[in-house]
Structures are given as structure tokens and as C-alpha cells.
């Protein structure tokens, strides 16, 4: 299976982060898996990564949760859309959710950066599908 360099997990749920990190590590999808716990922290991380700060690797793949305390996934996506396209080029953004409500799925259509949504936590089949489809 192919791999990427860096994955950014954006979720405020420690258990989900642990399970996703463990699965992605075990499947050797990326040697570098970063975890941030809200949208603000993710935007700060990306700002530094896009500026070329060495300790902030530019992610190839981003998983963002919809429901988070602080800045939630939709608020993050609204800000992410303001980032110039050339900075986001070749970054795959996927949404993770524990609630696949009709409202949330409809709202996701407003954000072309999001390629697809997955239920959390990730499963091996999800990861295989993601790697084959996007990488």
C-alpha cells in the first residue's frame, strides 16, 4: 500500500485520536501523524506549515471532525476555504463524524475541499479505500 509523509488529525476526542493514530501507524500509512484538538489549533499549525517552518510538516492528508468544542469542523472549513488554492494543492481533506445527520452531510456540500466523510473511528477498510482512491 502507498504511504504519505504527514497526516493531520483534527479532533477533540482523545479516544478517537488514539484509535485513529494507532490504526494509521500500524498500517504504516505515514511516518508522521500529527494531532490537534480543535480548529484554531489546526489553522495555526497549517499557517506555520505553509510558511515553511521546519517543525510543522505540510500534511498530505487531513482528517477533521465535525463536532468539536471550541472551533468546530465547519468553522474550521470556513477559514480553510480562505487559504489560497496553491497552498492547499495536493492536500486531501476528509471529514470524520460520529453523527451522519442529514443536515451535516448537506452542509458538507458547501465545502469543495472535503472529498468525502467517514464514520469514526476509522476502520482498516476505510484507510485502504482512502489510500487507493486519493494516493
Residues recorded for the chain: 135
Structure confidence by residue, pLDDT tens digits, 111-122: 999 999 999 999
Q: CA-CA distance, 57 to 59, in Å (whole number)? A: 6
Structure confidence by residue, pLDDT tens digits, 38-84: 999 999 999 999 999 999 999 999 999 999 988 999 999 999 999 99
Average of per-residue pLDDT values in the chain? 94
For the chain, which domains are there? 22-111 (3.40.50.2300)
39: CB partners within 8 A, 6+ apart: 10, 64, 68, 70, 71, 72, 73, 75, 76, 79
* Element housing 115 (H / E): strand 114-119
Note whether 43 and 79 are within 8 A (CB): yes
Amino acid at each position: 500500500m502507498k504511504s504519505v509523509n504527514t497526516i493531520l488529525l483534527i479532533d477533540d476526542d482523545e479516544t478517537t485520536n488514539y484509535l485513529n493514530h494507532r490504526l494509521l501507524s500500524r498500517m504504516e500509512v505515514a511516518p508522521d501523524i500529527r494531532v490537534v484538538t480543535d480548529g484554531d489549533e489546526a489553522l495555526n499549525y497549517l499557517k506555520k506549515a505553509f510558511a515553511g517552518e521546519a517543525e510543522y510538516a505540510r500534511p498530505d492528508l487531513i482528517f477533521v471532525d465535525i463536532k468539536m468544542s471550541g472551533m468546530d469542523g465547519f468553522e474550521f472549513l470556513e477559514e480553510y476555504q480562505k487559504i489560497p488554492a496553491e497552498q492547499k494543492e495536493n492536500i486531501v481533506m476528509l471529514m470524520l463524524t460520529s453523527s451522519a445527520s442529514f443536515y451535516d452531510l448537506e452542509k458538507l456540500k458547501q465545502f469543495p475541499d472535503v472529498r468525502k466523510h467517514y464514520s469514526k473511528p476509522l476502520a482498516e477498510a476505510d484507510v485502504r479505500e482512502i489510500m487507493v482512491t486519493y494516493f
